[in-house]
């Protein structure tokens, strides 16, 4: 808005409406409703069930905890917070996981896999370290089935602080001299269920001495509108 005359409330409102975008509520609502109708009630119910009910809440430390105030990773804490964590280490998930041998410490462990182990009487890393690959729990979850021989070894490594080499592992890598090299980047917003952009670039070569590889510059396709129709026409 320009000019010296004061902006009226109606103009502010019109500008706000003009700037607003369709939030595609049908993508967000199921998660929001699930949070208010189920997650919140469950957490409050468990937390209020007894004086220290919050200690009975389920938790799982992974990459999503990095911004949580209750992670308690000392290396990231200032001196004041370090003192708080040291005074009550089991009140913070990172030190509590180490102290209790929480299964989420095992590399690659998912929430579902951890719950499956706990249901089958493998509650911590000590139990996981001694579980044979033939343990029935490892047949109950796809991740556990795939990693059944590595999970006990990873748990043992956590306990002993010694690592070992998996000599049966097979590593795959790209060919050392491809004639066509293409990189495609896809940006997807999982919370909204919307594609937000694509880009592609490439390089081709015949490996002829003195002949420079042909470069294909990066081509970007940005979808900056929250409208499903834009996803197919860009």
| Residue whose C-alpha is closest to residue 126's, from 100, 92, 91 | 100
The structure tokens 């748990």 sit at 155
76 DSSP 8-state letter: G
Please state the closest distance from residue 193 (CB atom) to ligand SF4, in A: 23
Residues 98 and 125 sit within 8 Å (Cβ to Cβ): no
106: closest CA among 82, 123, 84? 123
Q: Smallest distance from the beta carbon of 76 to ligand SF4, in angstroms?
A: 12
In the complex with ligand SF4, the residue whose CB is nearer, 58 or 166, is: 58
For the beta carbon of residue 103, count every other beta carbon within 10 angstroms: 25
Q: What is the DSSP annotation of 89-108?
A: GGGSHHHHHHHHT-GGGSTT
Q: Which is nearer to ligand SF4, 103 or 131 (CB)?
A: 103
Name the residue with tokens 């005359």: 5
In the complex, least distance from residue 104 CB atom to ligand SF4, rounded to whole angstroms = 8
Tell me 185's DSSP state. E
Work out how close the CB of 72 gets to ligand SF4 at its nearest, in angstroms, rounded to a whole number: 7
92 vs 138, which CB is nearer to ligand SF4?
92
Residue 179 and residue 205 in contact, taking contact as beta carbons nearer than 8 Å: yes
> Taking the complex as a whole, how short is the minimal distance between the CB of residue 73 and ligand SF4, in angstroms?
9
Question: Which CB, 102 or 135, lies closer to ligand SF4?
Answer: 102
What residues make contact with ligand SF4 under the rule CB under 6 A?
A: 59-61, 65, 68, 70-71, 93
Decide whether 71 or 151 has the Cβ nearer to ligand SF4: 71
Nearest to 117 by CA among 138, 100, 96: 138
Smallest distance from ligand SF4 to CB 203, Å: 42
Q: State the number of CA atoms in the 13 A half-sphere of 111 facing the CB.
A: 7
Output 65 or 153, the one with its CB closest to ligand SF4.
65
Q: Going by DSSP bridges, is the β-strand pair 214-222/194-204 parallel, antiparallel, or unpaired? A: antiparallel
């Amino acid at each position: 808005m320009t000019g010296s005359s004061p902006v009226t409330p109606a103009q502010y409102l019109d500008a706000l409406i003009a700037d607003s975008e369709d939030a595609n509520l049908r993508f967000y609502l199921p998660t929001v409703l699930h949070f208010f109708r189920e997650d919140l009630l469950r957490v409050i119910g468990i937390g209020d069930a007894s004086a220290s009910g919050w200690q009975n809440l389920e938790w799982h430390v992974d990459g999503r905890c990095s911004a949580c105030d209750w992670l308690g990773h000392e290396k990231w804490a200032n001196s004041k917070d370090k003192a708080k964590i040291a005074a009550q280490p089991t009140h913070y998930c990172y030190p509590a996981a180490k102290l209790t041998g929480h299964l989420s410490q095992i590399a690659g462990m998912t929430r579902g896999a951890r719950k499956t182990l706990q249901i089958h009487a493998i509650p911590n890393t000590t139990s996981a370290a001694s579980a044979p690959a033939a343990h029935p729990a490892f047949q109950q979850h796809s991740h556990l089935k795939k990693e059944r021989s590595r999970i006990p070894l990873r748990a043992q490594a956590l306990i002993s602080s010694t690592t070992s080499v998996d000599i049966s592992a097979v590593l795959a890598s790209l060919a050392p001299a491809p004639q066509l090299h293409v990189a495609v980047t896809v940006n997807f917003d999982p919370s909204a269920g919307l594609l937000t952009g694509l880009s592609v670039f490439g390089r081709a070569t015949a490996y002829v001495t003195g002949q420079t590889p042909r470069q294909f510059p990066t081509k970007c396709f940005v979808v900056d509108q929250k409208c499903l129709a834009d996803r197919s026409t860009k």
